[in-house]
Structure 1
Amino acid sequence: MRSVLLVNPLAGDGVAARLAGPVADHLRSVAEVSVVTAASATASGRNATGAVAEGAGVLVVLGGDGLVHEAVQACAGTDTALAVIPTGTGNDLARALGMPLDPLTAARVVAESISTASVSVIDLGGAVGGEWFATVLCAGFDSKVNARVNRMRWPRGKRRYDLAVLRELLGLAAMPLRVETERGGIETAATLVAVGNTSHYGGGVPICPDADPTDGLLDVTVVGEVTRRDLLGILPRLRTGRHVDHPAVRTLRTSSVRLSGENGWLAFADGEPQARLPLTLRCSREKLRVIRPRRGDRRPGEA
Structure 2
Amino acid sequence: MAVNPRAGNGAGARASPEVVHALRAAGHDVNLVQVDNPVGLRPQLASALARNPEALVVVGGDGMVHIGINALAGTAVPLAIVPAGTGNDVARSLGLPTGGKPPAAAASLVRVLRMEPRSIDLGRITSAGSPDVWFAAVCSAGLDAVVNARANRCSWPRGRAKYVLALLRELPFFRPPTYRLSVDGRETNIEAILVCVSNMRSVGGGMLITPGARYDDGRLDLLTVDPMPRLKLLTLFPLIFSGRHVGLKTVHLQTVSSVSLDVPGITLFADGEPVGNAPVDIAVVPAALKVFA
TM-score, normalised to structure 1, is 0.90
Task: Indicate the SS of the match to 2:245.
Answer: helix
Matched residue, 1:112: 111
Q: Counterpart amino acid of 2:72?
A: C
Task: Indicate the SS of the match to 2:22.
Answer: helix
C-alpha distance after superposition, 1:4-59 (max 9, x if no partner): x2111111222221221111122223222222212113321122222222111111
- Give unmatched runs, 5+ long, in structure 2: none
Matched residue, 2:66: 69
Question: Is the 1:84–1:94 contact (alpha carbons within 8 Å) kept by the matching residues of 2?
Answer: yes
Question: Is the 1:48–1:70 contact (alpha carbons within 8 Å) kept by the matching residues of 2?
Answer: no
Question: Is the 1:51–1:59 contact (alpha carbons within 8 Å) kept by the matching residues of 2?
Answer: no
Displacement of 1:185 after TM fit?
4.0
Task: Indicate the SS of the match to 2:141.
Answer: strand
Question: Is the 1:174–1:226 contact (alpha carbons within 8 Å) kept by the matching residues of 2?
Answer: no
Structural mapping, 1:181-260, within 5 Å: 181-182=183-184, 184-260=186-262
Displacement of 1:227 after TM fit?
1.0
Question: Is the 1:57–1:79 contact (alpha carbons within 8 Å) kept by the matching residues of 2?
Answer: no
Q: Counterpart amino acid of 1:201?
A: V
1:133 pairs with 2:130: no
Matched residue, 1:170: 172
Aligned-CA RMSD value? 1.5
Matched residue, 2:288: 287
Distance in 2, Cα, partners of 1:18 & 1:113:
21
Distance in 2, Cα, partners of 1:73 & 1:285:
15
Q: How many residues align?
A: 286
Q: Counterpart amino acid of 1:26?
A: A
Displacement of 1:108 after TM fit?
1.7
Q: Counterpart amino acid of 1:94?
A: A
Displacement of 1:271 after TM fit?
0.5
1:27 pairs with 2:23: yes
Q: Counterpart amino acid of 2:179?
A: L
Distance in 2, Cα, partners of 1:183 & 1:253:
13
1:15 pairs with 2:11: yes
Question: Is the 2:9–2:155 contact (alpha carbons within 8 Å) kept by the matching residues of 1?
Answer: no
Question: Is the 1:121–1:290 contact (alpha carbons within 8 Å) kept by the matching residues of 2?
Answer: yes
Q: Counterpart amino acid of 2:62?
A: D
* Identity rate, percent: 39
Counterparts in 2 of 1:203 and 1:271: CA distance versus 1, 3 Å: same
C-alpha distance after superposition, 1:160-190 (max 9, x if no partner): 1110011111113211113221263442211
Task: Indicate the SS of the match to 1:109.
Answer: helix
Distance in 2, Cα, partners of 1:203 & 1:225:
24
Question: Is the 1:44–1:67 contact (alpha carbons within 8 Å) kept by the matching residues of 2?
Answer: no
- Give unmatched runs, 5+ long, in structure 1: 293-303
Distance in 2, Cα, partners of 1:175 & 1:59:
40
